[in-house]
């Protein structure tokens, strides 16, 4: 049984977004409902890409109403990383802005190309094993007949042909390919992602590689008559550089109230109390 810092606490969840957007009306309605229900703390993991004035920010407005009722609001700093200064999007003084930081462990995975020709290390939370079986590779570009080249390489949407990926490991240029490969019934997936401090949970044998290592896989695929690979189950290793601010987390300073430090605290990015996979037939 996994317990948090306050095991007697109860969680109330409010849906303010659909698959496409989070409207201001829905965000403010969520705040109103939470305040009316008597919650003690509101955690908001959404926001804008850039900071805006308080009266234009629905989260800041909702959080102000919460603060008037004595409810603390915590909001994520943003995911702009180090792309520029003053990109922290949560700037209101009455919000506790939270950055992301690393923990002292990394979830790493390995993929072996061919008969031991090359072993590459990447990141993923992969609880599956191929049982020492080498599986044929197929590139997303060759696994479709009805998508343009860019979408096919990335395995976007429903580009993958279920017949062409069956019992194979799919190579996808973007992270979207993980879900697409799973939906298409592939046996595994290899994709690329250049952040080296984030491991994503995958629903099938899968691994994310740096662009450099991913290009090695593509080169192997293009130069081999019958390319095969095996993806291992993830393992945990010590991260000797932790804790540091995660590479994707937005930095300060505060663009609108420079005297107030943003972000104030950091929460670790990879806490796994329990991971379950549910299969519905």
User: Count of CB atoms within 10 A of residue 96's CB?
Assistant: 17
Q: What is the pLDDT of residue 83?
A: 59
Q: Residue 2's pLDDT band (boundaries 50, 70, 90)?
A: very low
Whether residue 140 lies inside any domain: the answer is yes
Rounded distance between C-alpha atoms, residue 155 and residue 180, angstroms: 6
Domain that holds residue 225: 105-234
Whether residue 16 lies inside any domain: the answer is no
For residue 114, pLDDT over 80 is answered with yes
The dihedrals phi and psi of 44, each to the nearest 5 degrees, come to -120, 110
Residues in the chain, how many? 281
Instruction: Kindly state whether residues 185 and 150 are assigned to the same domain.
Output: yes
Instruction: Kindly state whether residues 128 and 208 are assigned to the same domain.
Output: yes
Count of structural domains within the chain: 2
- The kind and range of the H/E element at 190 are strand 188-192
Q: What is the CATH number of the domain that holds 122?
A: 3.50.30.30
- pLDDT, averaged across the chain: 84
Q: What is the pLDDT of residue 263?
A: 61
Q: What is the pLDDT of residue 167?
A: 93
- The kind and range of the H/E element at 3 are none
- Buried b / exposed e over 21-51, threshold 16 CB at 10 Å, is ebeeebbbebbeebbeeebeebebeebeeeb
Whether residue 1 lies inside any domain: the answer is no
For residue 155, pLDDT over 80 is answered with yes
Look-up: residue for tokens 């190309």?
113
For 81, left (φ over 0), alpha (ψ -120 to 50), or beta?
left
Look-up: residue for tokens 């919650």?
39
Instruction: Kindly state whether residues 157 and 111 are assigned to the same domain.
Output: yes
Rounded distance between C-alpha atoms, residue 232 and residue 95, angstroms: 43
Instruction: Kindly state whether residues 112 and 199 are assigned to the same domain.
Output: yes
Whether residue 59 lies inside any domain: the answer is yes
Q: Residue 169's pLDDT band (boundaries 50, 70, 90)?
A: very high
Rounded distance between C-alpha atoms, residue 248 and residue 265, angstroms: 15
Q: What is the mean pLDDT of residues 36-41?
A: 95
Tokens (6 digits) for 246: 């995660």
Instruction: Kindly state whether residues 111 and 204 are assigned to the same domain.
Output: yes
Q: What is the CATH number of the domain that holds 76?
A: 3.40.50.200
- Buried b / exposed e over 127-155, threshold 16 CB at 10 Å, is ebebeeebbebbbbbbbbeebeeebbbbb
Whether residue 276 lies inside any domain: the answer is no
User: Count of CB atoms within 10 A of residue 215's CB?
Assistant: 12
Instruction: Kindly state whether residues 230 and 260 are assigned to the same domain.
Output: no
Whether residue 41 lies inside any domain: the answer is yes
Rounded distance between C-alpha atoms, residue 280 and residue 216, angstroms: 36
Strand pairing of 169-172 and 41-44?
Answer: unpaired
Output the pTM of the full model: 0.72
Whether residue 256 lies inside any domain: the answer is yes
Residue 190 pairs in a beta bridge with 171, 207
For residue 163, pLDDT over 60 is answered with yes
- Segment 79-103, tens digit of pLDDT: 777 655 546 788 888 999 888 777 7
Which of 140, 134, 141, 139 shows the shortest CA–CA distance to 118?
Answer: 134
- Segment 228-253, tens digit of pLDDT: 999 999 888 887 876 777 776 667 77
Instruction: Kindly state whether residues 142 and 196 are assigned to the same domain.
Output: yes
């Amino acid at each position: 049984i996994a317990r948090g810092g306050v095991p007697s606490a109860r969680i109330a969840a409010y849906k303010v977004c659909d698959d496409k957007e989070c409207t201001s009306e829905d965000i403010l309605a969520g705040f109103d409902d939470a305040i009316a229900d008597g919650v003690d703390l509101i955690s908001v993991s959404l926001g804008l890409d850039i900071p805006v004035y308080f009266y234009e920010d629905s989260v800041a407005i909702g959080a102000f109403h919460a603060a008037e009722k004595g409810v603390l609001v915590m909001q994520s700093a943003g995911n702009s990383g180090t792309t520029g200064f003053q990109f922290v999007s949560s700037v209101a003084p009455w919000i506790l802005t939270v950055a992301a930081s690393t923990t002292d462990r990394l979830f790493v995975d390995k993929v072996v190309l061919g008969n031991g020709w090359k072993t590459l290390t990447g990141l993923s939370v992969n609880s599956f094993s191929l049982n020492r079986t080498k599986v044929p590779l197929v590139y997303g570009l060759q696994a479709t007949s009805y998508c343009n080249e860019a979408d096919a390489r990335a395995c976007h949407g429903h580009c993958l042909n279920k017949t062409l990926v069956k019992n194979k490991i799919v190579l996808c240029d973007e992270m979207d390919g993980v879900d697409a490969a799973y939906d298409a019934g592939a046996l595994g997936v290899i994709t690329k992602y250049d952040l080296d401090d984030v491991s994503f949970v995958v629903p099938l044998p899968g691994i994310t590689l740096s662009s450099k290592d991913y290009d090695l896989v593509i080169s192997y695929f293009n130069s081999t008559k019958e390319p095969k690979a095996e993806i291992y189950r993830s393992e945990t290793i010590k991260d000797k550089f932790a804790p540091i601010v995660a590479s994707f987390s937005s930095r300060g300073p505060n663009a609108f109230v420079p005297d107030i430090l943003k972000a104030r605290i950091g929460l670790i990015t990879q806490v796994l109390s329990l991971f379950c996979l549910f299969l519905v037939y």
